[in-house]
């Protein structure tokens, strides 16, 4: 069936006009000359030149994932955390076709990435046909392009639902008709990508993404992860088991990957399948995001720029305690905070779950956790200016008069060191943003096995994630033999394990429970005024609707 759809889609894209919405003059996606980029007969004639072209296919992904509004949409519009700031419109669902927020970036950069990967696929095939590269040389290059193309379609369909779809290069001849194509079934678009991945991935080496450290190329592991995720969306349980199962054969036992490698500050870790890399050198390379400024406890006195900071306002006091790990030069904003459902129900202060909170990195009582919440983070007394060896250690909490009160079971913690950037300079977050980790594939396997009726294998994968976090095995009898309750336990583990990794809203939407859970558990006062069922997907920006001549619509938002 998948091969049939793949062949039909390929035929459709050759004979009908390819389905896409690229941008007109107001948009960046068509600022590139399609003739010069996609049909360069004098270039892409050897493997090195083709790799150079593929390199350009990565940059739109970075621009999507370093857009703060995209993270807010994925994580703050859910049951797990909120950001109560009215001008952060993606965090409070204050969006519409004319006020699209991050949707504009995702649409433009997503289709820019599609355009580039389609073009490079065409260039590689041309190079083979004209004898410049062999089929053997071309196979892994075509596979890399297929993985990247699947990534862009994964992001676009997860964000917008049904979208225009195409797989051929944009030219001057087809551009006008391409712009006016309607939405296509997201399930069909995913099915095409699934079939193409099955066809192309055997050409890539079976290895971990970061086996050799900072190798950034989209390899087999990422392709398998995307294939599994796309199958979960399409409820293709056997397909998901096949993709994730092959990934399991590469990565092995989850227990061999320590939870302490999960924080974003730990770069290119062995468990990671895909990271968006950042780096900051004070007088050198600076490729950064801003996420840490929105996930770090409020600093005592903020600075606008460390170049112009006054000595007396430089401080490493964060919400009343000194945290040397964070440094004195950060600019922090109003922080995203966990919902009561997350910090009281899923990861409470008293929980033995190692993901509930990590101690300071220099503490003798470090727990070996992933630092999702700052329940136990230690610091020094703000009155201890000399930071003597006998200093009193403070924990986050609240001050009542002159008395410092530690956090307790009824407190609301800050997000933890999973998201903090050590020695943050102004807002320049040099952490790597972790998008896919092996633990997500293990949980995907648990879900797929359960939905396919194989409860023992589902429990095996679920318990692998639980055991690494210090929890005991869960048995079907623990949920009264109810398979739906077992599925809920898988959802809870996804919440705890993958917090902040750009997955939660997508998961809730594909489980068809997003509006129910977000409206029930998200305690942000601003989002509660705005949230509507239509917000499960972001709207196509109004300028793109206009560019299509009204062919594209936002029916749910109109209602």
* Structure-token match 């399409």, residue found: 234
Q: What is the pTM of this model?
A: 0.91
Predicted pLDDT at 38: 46
When comparing pLDDT for 42 and 238, which is higher? 238
454-481 average pLDDT score: 97
User: 108-137, pLDDT tens digit by residue?
Assistant: 999 999 999 999 999 999 999 999 999 999
Predicted pLDDT at 321: 85
Q: What is the DSSP letter of 203?
A: G
* Structure-token match 């950064």, residue found: 288
User: 55-105, pLDDT tens digit by residue?
Assistant: 999 999 999 999 999 999 999 999 999 999 999 999 999 999 999 999 999
Of the pLDDT bands very low, low, confident and very high (cuts 50, 70, 90), residue 400 is low
When comparing pLDDT for 325 and 409, which is higher? 325
Q: Buried (b) or exposed (e) across 384-418, using 16+ Cβ within 10 A?
A: eeeeeeeeeebbbbeeeeeebeebeeebebbbbbb
Q: d(Cα 23, Cα 548) in Å, to the nearest integer? A: 9
Of the pLDDT bands very low, low, confident and very high (cuts 50, 70, 90), residue 5 is very low
Is the per-residue pLDDT at 388 higher than 60?
no
Predicted pLDDT at 403: 56
Q: Among 6-15, 198-207, 361-370, 534-543, which is the least confidently predicted range?
A: 6-15
Under a CB-based contact definition with an 8 Å cutoff, are residues 119 and 129 in contact? Answer: no
238-262 average pLDDT score: 98
Q: 3-state class of 78 per DSSP?
A: coil
Predicted pLDDT at 272: 97
Q: pLDDT > 70: what percent of the chain?
A: 87
Is the per-residue pLDDT at 16 higher than 80?
no
Of the pLDDT bands very low, low, confident and very high (cuts 50, 70, 90), residue 198 is very high
Is the per-residue pLDDT at 269 higher than 50?
yes
Of the pLDDT bands very low, low, confident and very high (cuts 50, 70, 90), residue 391 is low
Predicted pLDDT at 81: 98
User: 496-545, pLDDT tens digit by residue?
Assistant: 999 999 999 999 999 999 999 999 999 999 999 999 999 999 999 999 99
Q: d(Cα 79, Cα 94) in Å, to the nearest integer? A: 17
Under a CB-based contact definition with an 8 Å cutoff, are residues 150 and 131 in contact? Answer: no
Predicted pLDDT at 11: 40
215-234 average pLDDT score: 94
473-483 average pLDDT score: 96
Cα 331 from chain centre: 24
Under a CB-based contact definition with an 8 Å cutoff, are residues 433 and 291 in contact? Answer: yes
Q: 3-state class of 316 per DSSP?
A: coil
Predicted pLDDT at 475: 96
Q: Among 272-281, 304-313, 435-444, 506-515, which is the least confidently predicted range?
A: 304-313
- Show the tokens assigned to 287: 């490729």
Q: 3-state class of 424 per DSSP?
A: coil
Of the pLDDT bands very low, low, confident and very high (cuts 50, 70, 90), residue 14 is very low
Of the pLDDT bands very low, low, confident and very high (cuts 50, 70, 90), residue 283 is confident
Predicted pLDDT at 376: 85
Q: Among 265-279, 352-366, 384-398, 460-474, which is the least confidently predicted range?
A: 384-398
336: closest CA among 102, 81, 68? 81
254-273 average pLDDT score: 96
Is the per-residue pLDDT at 12 higher than 60?
no
The top-scoring range by mean pLDDT among 319-323, 379-383, 403-407 is: 319-323
Predicted pLDDT at 177: 87
425: closest CA among 553, 296, 322? 296
User: 316-369, pLDDT tens digit by residue?
Assistant: 889 888 888 999 889 999 999 999 999 999 999 889 999 998 888 777 777 899
Predicted pLDDT at 40: 56
Is the per-residue pLDDT at 406 higher than 80?
no
Is the per-residue pLDDT at 547 higher than 90?
yes
User: 148-195, pLDDT tens digit by residue?
Assistant: 999 999 999 999 999 999 998 988 899 888 899 999 999 999 999 999
Q: Mean pLDDT in the chain? A: 88
| Measured CA distances, 194 to 146, 147, 205, 368, 529 (Å) | 10, 10, 18, 37, 39
Is the per-residue pLDDT at 33 higher than 80?
no
């Amino acid at each position: 069936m998948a091969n049939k759809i793949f062949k039909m889609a390929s035929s459709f894209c050759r004979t009908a006009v390819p389905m896409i919405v690229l941008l007109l003059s107001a948009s960046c996606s068509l600022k590139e000359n399609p003739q010069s980029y996609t049909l360069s007969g004098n270039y892409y004639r050897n493997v090195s030149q083709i790799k150079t072209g593929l390199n350009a296919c990565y940059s739109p992904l970075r621009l999507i994932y370093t857009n703060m509004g995209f993270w807010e949409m994925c994580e703050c519009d859910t049951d797990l955390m909120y950001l109560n700031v009215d001008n952060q419109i993606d965090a409070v669902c204050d969006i519409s076709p004319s006020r699209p927020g991050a949707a504009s970036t995702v649409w433009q950069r997503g289709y820019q990435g599609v355009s580039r990967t389609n073009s490079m696929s065409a260039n590689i095939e041309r190079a083979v046909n004209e004898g410049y590269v062999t089929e053997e040389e071309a196979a892994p290059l075509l596979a890399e392009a297929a993985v990247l193309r699947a990534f862009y379609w994964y992001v676009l369909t997860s964000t917008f639902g049904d979208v225009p779809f195409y797989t051929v290069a944009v030219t001057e001849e087809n551009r006008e008709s391409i712009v006016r194509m309607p939405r296509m079934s997201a399930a069909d678009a995913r099915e095409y990508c699934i079939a193409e991945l099955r066809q192309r991935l055997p050409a890539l080496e079976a290895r971990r993404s970061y086996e050799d450290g900072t190798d950034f190329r989209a390899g087999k592991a990422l392709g398998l992860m995307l294939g599994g995720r796309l199958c979960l969306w399409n409820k293709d349980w056997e397909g998901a088991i096949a993709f994730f199962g092959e990934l399991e054969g590469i990565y092995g036992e989850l227990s061999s990957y320590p939870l302490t490698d999960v924080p974003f500050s730990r770069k290119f870790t062995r468990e990671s399948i895909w990271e968006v890399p950042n780096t900051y050198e004070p007088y050198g390379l600076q490729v950064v995001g801003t996420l840490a400024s929105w996930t770090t406890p409020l600093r005592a006195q903020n600075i606008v720029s460390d170049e112009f900071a006054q000595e007396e306002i430089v401080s490493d006091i964060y919400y009343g305690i000194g945290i040397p790990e964070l440094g004195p030069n950060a600019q922090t904003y109003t922080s995203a905070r966990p919902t009561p459902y997350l910090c009281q129900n899923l990861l409470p202060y008293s929980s033995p779950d190692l993901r509930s909170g990590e101690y300071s990195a220099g503490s003798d009582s470090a727990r070996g956790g992933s630092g999702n919440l700052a329940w136990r983070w230690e610091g020094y007394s703000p009155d201890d200016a000399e930071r003597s060896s006998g200093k009193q250690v403070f924990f986050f909490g609240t001050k009542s008069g002159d008395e410092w009160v530690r956090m307790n079971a009824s407190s609301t913690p800050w997000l933890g060191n999973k998201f903090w950037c050590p020695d943050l300079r102004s807002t320049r977050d040099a952490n790597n943003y972790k998008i896919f980790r092996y633990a997500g594939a293990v949980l995907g396997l648990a879900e797929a096995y359960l939905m396919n009726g194989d409860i023992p294998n589902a429990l095996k994968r679920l318990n692998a994630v639980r055991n690494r976090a210090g929890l005991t095995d869960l048995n079907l009898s623990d949920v009264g033999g109810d398979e739906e309750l077992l599925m809920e336990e898988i959802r809870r583990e996804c919440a705890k394990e993958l917090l902040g990794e750009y997955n939660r809203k997508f998961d809730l939407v594909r489980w068809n429970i997003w509006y129910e859970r977000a409206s029930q558990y998200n305690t942000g006062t601003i989002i509660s005024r705005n949230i509507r069922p239509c917000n499960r997907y972001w709207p196509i920006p109004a300028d793109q609707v206009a560019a299509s001549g009204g062919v594209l619509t936002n029916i749910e938002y109109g209602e």
